[in-house]
Structure 1
Amino acid sequence: MFDVILDGIKSIVKSRLFVLVVIYLFGFGILISRIFNLQIVNGEKYEKDSAFKSTKNIEMKGTRGNIYDRNGKLLAYNELSYAVSIEDSDKLKKAEDKNKMINQLIKLIEQNGSSIVNNFNIEMDDNGKLSFKVKGNALTRFKKDVYSSEDLTKDQMKATAEDVFNYLRYGKDGSSNFNISKEYSTEEALKIMAVRYAIFMNRYQQYMAVTIATDVNEKTVSAIKENNEEMPGVDIIEESTRKYVDSKYFAHILGYTGFASESDLDTLGKSYNSTDQVGKSGVEKEYESYLRGNKGYQKVTVDDTGKILNVDSTKKSTIGNDVYLTIDKDLTIASYKLLEKKICDILVSKIVNSTSTGSKGKSADNITIPIYDVYYALLNNNIIDINHFTQKDATSLEKSVYQKFVSKQKSSIAELKTLLAINSKTKNSDVSDDMGDLLDFVYQTLSSEGILLKKNIDENDDVYKKYIAGKTSLSEFIQHAISSNWIDLSVLNLGDKYYNSDEIYNKLINYVLNLLQDNSKFNKKIYHILVYSYKLSGTEICLLLYDQGVLKYDKKEVDMLKKNGSYYAYNFIIKKLKKLEITPAQLALEPCSGSVVITDVNTGTVLALVSYPSYDNNRMANTVDAKYYAKLSTDLSSPFLNRPTQASNAPGSTFKMISTVTGLEEGVITPTEKIKDLGEFTKIKPYKHCWAWPNHTHGSIDVSDAIRDSCNYFFYEVGYRLSQSSTNKYISDLGIKKFQKYAKMFGLDKKSGIEIQESKPHVSDTDAVATAIGQGTNNFAPIQISRYLTTVANSGTCYNLTLLDKIIDYNGKTIVTNKAKVHNNVEIKQSTWDSVHSGMYKVVNAPTNNNRQYFKDLKVEVAGKTGTAQLAKTHPNHALFVSYAPFDKPEISMTVVIPNGYTSANAVQLASKIYKYKFNKTSLKDLLSDSSKTSGPSGVTD
Structure 2
Amino acid sequence: MVKKIINTVKKFFDKRVTIVLILFVFMSCVLIARLFKLQIIDGQSYADNFTVMTTRTRMIQSTRGNIYDRNGELLAYNELSNCVTIEDNGSYETTREKNLSVNGEIYYLTNLIQSMGDTLTHDFHIIVDEDGNYAFDVDEGTTRDRFRADVFGYAQISDLKEDEANASADDIMNYLAGSKRFYLYNEDNPYTEEELKSHGLPAELTKEEILNIVIVRYQLSLISFQRYVPVTVASNVSASTVAAIEENINTLQGVSISQESRRVYNKAESMAPIIGYTGKPSAEELENLRQENPDYNSNSIIGKTGIEQSMETTLQGVDGEETITIDNLGKVLDINEDSRINPVQGNDVYLTIDAELQEACYQILEQRIAGVLLKKIQDEKEGPAEIDDADNDLYIPIYDVYKQLINNNIIDINHFYAEDAGETEQNVYNKFLSRQQEVIDWVAQELSGEGTPYNQLSEDKQSYLDYVYSTYLTSDTGLVNRKLVDKDDAMYQAYFKEETISLSRFLSYASTKNWIDTTKLPESSDYLDSGEIYQQIISMMQQDLYNKSDFSRIIYSYLIDDDVVTPSELCLILYDQNILSKDDGIYEDFAYGSMTAYELITEKIRTLELTPAQIALDPCSGSAVLNDPDTGEVLALVTYPGYDNNLLSNDMDVSYYNHLYNDQSTPFYNKATQQL
TM-score range, shorter-chain basis? 0.7 to 0.9
Alignment of 1:94-243 (within 5 A): 94=95, 95-96=98-99, 97-134=101-138, 135-150=140-155, 151-170=159-178, 174-176=179-181, 178-181=182-185, 184-243=205-264
CA contact (8 A) 1:59 1:208 kept: no
CA contact (8 A) 2:228 2:332 kept: no
> What is the one-letter code of the residue matched to 1:68?
Y
> 1:388 corresponds to which residue?
415
Counterpart Cα distance in 2 of 1:295 and 1:271: 8
Counterpart Cα distance in 1 of 2:640 and 2:456: 42
Change (3 A) 1:454 1:98: closer
Aligned Cα root-mean-square deviation (Å)? 3.7
CA contact (8 A) 1:92 1:98 kept: no
CA contact (8 A) 2:322 2:336 kept: no
Counterpart Cα distance in 1 of 2:457 and 2:387: 21
CA contact (8 A) 2:83 2:258 kept: yes
> 2:339 corresponds to which residue?
313
Once the two structures are TM-superposed, the CA of residue 607 in structure 1 deviates from its matched residue by 0.8
CA contact (8 A) 2:130 2:414 kept: no
Matched, 1:584 2:592: no
Counterpart of 1:411 (choices 438, 443, 467) is 438
Counterpart Cα distance in 2 of 1:309 and 1:508: 62
Alignment of 1:320-335 (within 5 A): 320-335=346-361
Alignment of 1:599-678 (within 5 A): 599-646=627-674
Alignment of 1:519-558 (within 5 A): 519-554=548-583, 557-558=586-587
Once the two structures are TM-superposed, the CA of residue 216 in structure 1 deviates from its matched residue by 1.6
> 1:869 corresponds to which residue?
none
Change (3 A) 1:488 1:556: same
Change (3 A) 1:422 1:361: farther
Partner of 1:215, secondary structure, is coil
Counterpart Cα distance in 1 of 2:120 and 2:438: 43
Give deviations 1:470-528, integer Å, cap 9, x for gaps: 33333443444444544445637474666684x66555444434333322222111111
> 2:501 corresponds to which residue?
472
Q: TM-score, normalised by structure 1?
A: 0.60
User: Which range moves more in the overlay, 633-642 or 304-313?
Assistant: 304-313
Alignment of 1:349-364 (within 5 A): 349-358=375-384, 361-363=387-389
Alignment of 1:453-472 (within 5 A): 453-467=481-495, 468-472=497-501
Q: Which protein has the larger Cα radius of gyration, Structure 1 or Structure 2?
A: 1
Counterpart Cα distance in 1 of 2:492 and 2:25: 109
Number of equivalenced pairs? 621
Once the two structures are TM-superposed, the CA of residue 303 in structure 1 deviates from its matched residue by 6.3
Counterpart Cα distance in 2 of 1:460 and 1:25: 101
Once the two structures are TM-superposed, the CA of residue 332 in structure 1 deviates from its matched residue by 0.6
Matched, 1:442 2:468: yes
Once the two structures are TM-superposed, the CA of residue 395 in structure 1 deviates from its matched residue by 1.0
Matched, 1:433 2:454: no
> 2:54 corresponds to which residue?
54
Counterpart Cα distance in 1 of 2:316 and 2:82: 19
Change (3 A) 1:128 1:356: closer
Partner of 2:479, secondary structure, is coil
> What is the one-letter code of the residue matched to 1:164?
I
Counterpart Cα distance in 2 of 1:360 and 1:329: 45
> What is the one-letter code of the residue matched to 2:83?
A
User: Which range moves more in the overlay, 567-576 or 232-241?
Assistant: 232-241
Partner of 1:564, secondary structure, is coil
Partner of 2:236, secondary structure, is strand
Counterpart Cα distance in 2 of 1:497 and 1:295: 61
Change (3 A) 1:271 1:350: same
Give deviations 1:61-104, integer Å, cap 9, x for gaps: 22221111001111111111122233332535744133333333
Instruction: State the percentage of identical aligned residues.
Output: 40
CA contact (8 A) 2:228 2:326 kept: no
Change (3 A) 1:59 1:229: farther
> 2:541 corresponds to which residue?
512
Change (3 A) 1:84 1:484: closer
Counterpart of 1:300 (choices 324, 329, 332) is 324
Once the two structures are TM-superposed, the CA of residue 266 in structure 1 deviates from its matched residue by 1.7
Counterpart Cα distance in 1 of 2:423 and 2:576: 10
Give deviations 1:672-696, integer Å, cap 9, x for gaps: xxxxxxxxxxxxxxxxxxxxxxxxx
Change (3 A) 1:205 1:267: farther
Counterpart Cα distance in 1 of 2:445 and 2:171: 38
User: Which range moves more in the overlay, 516-525 or 620-629?
Assistant: 516-525
Give deviations 1:239-284, integer Å, cap 9, x for gaps: 2111111110100100111223333322222312233222111111
> What is the one-letter code of the residue matched to 1:123?
I
Counterpart Cα distance in 2 of 1:482 and 1:187: 37
CA contact (8 A) 2:70 2:353 kept: yes
Change (3 A) 1:434 1:30: closer
Partner of 2:321, secondary structure, is strand
Once the two structures are TM-superposed, the CA of residue 353 in structure 1 deviates from its matched residue by 0.7
Change (3 A) 1:500 1:320: closer
Counterpart Cα distance in 2 of 1:319 and 1:227: 35
> What is the one-letter code of the residue matched to 2:608?
L
User: Which range moves more in the overlay, 601-610 or 217-226?
Assistant: 217-226
Alignment of 1:727-766 (within 5 A): none
Once the two structures are TM-superposed, the CA of residue 536 in structure 1 deviates from its matched residue by 1.0
Change (3 A) 1:435 1:604: same
Change (3 A) 1:56 1:246: same
For CA contacts below 8 A with separation 6 or more, give which structure has more relative contact order: 2
Change (3 A) 1:500 1:644: closer
Change (3 A) 1:64 1:153: same
Q: Is there any run of 5+ residues in structure 2 with no aligned partner, and where?
A: 13-18, 35-49, 187-202
> What is the one-letter code of the residue matched to 1:157?
A
> What is the one-letter code of the residue matched to 1:156?
E
Counterpart Cα distance in 2 of 1:107 and 1:423: 52
Counterpart Cα distance in 2 of 1:442 and 1:590: 27
> 1:379 corresponds to which residue?
406
Q: TM-score, normalised by structure 2?
A: 0.82
Matched, 1:281 2:305: yes
CA contact (8 A) 1:303 1:309 kept: no
Change (3 A) 1:412 1:157: closer
CA contact (8 A) 1:359 1:368 kept: no
Counterpart Cα distance in 1 of 2:83 and 2:522: 49
Counterpart Cα distance in 2 of 1:64 and 1:494: 54
Give deviations 1:267-319, integer Å, cap 9, x for gaps: 22231223322211111111121112211122234567534365341211122
Counterpart Cα distance in 2 of 1:533 and 1:469: 29
Counterpart of 2:280 (choices 244, 259, 270) is 259
Partner of 2:235, secondary structure, is strand
> 2:74 corresponds to which residue?
74
Counterpart Cα distance in 2 of 1:392 and 1:285: 44
Once the two structures are TM-superposed, the CA of residue 200 in structure 1 deviates from its matched residue by 2.6
CA contact (8 A) 1:356 1:368 kept: no
> What is the one-letter code of the residue matched to 1:260?
P
Counterpart Cα distance in 2 of 1:362 and 1:621: 47
Once the two structures are TM-superposed, the CA of residue 431 in structure 1 deviates from its matched residue by 3.8
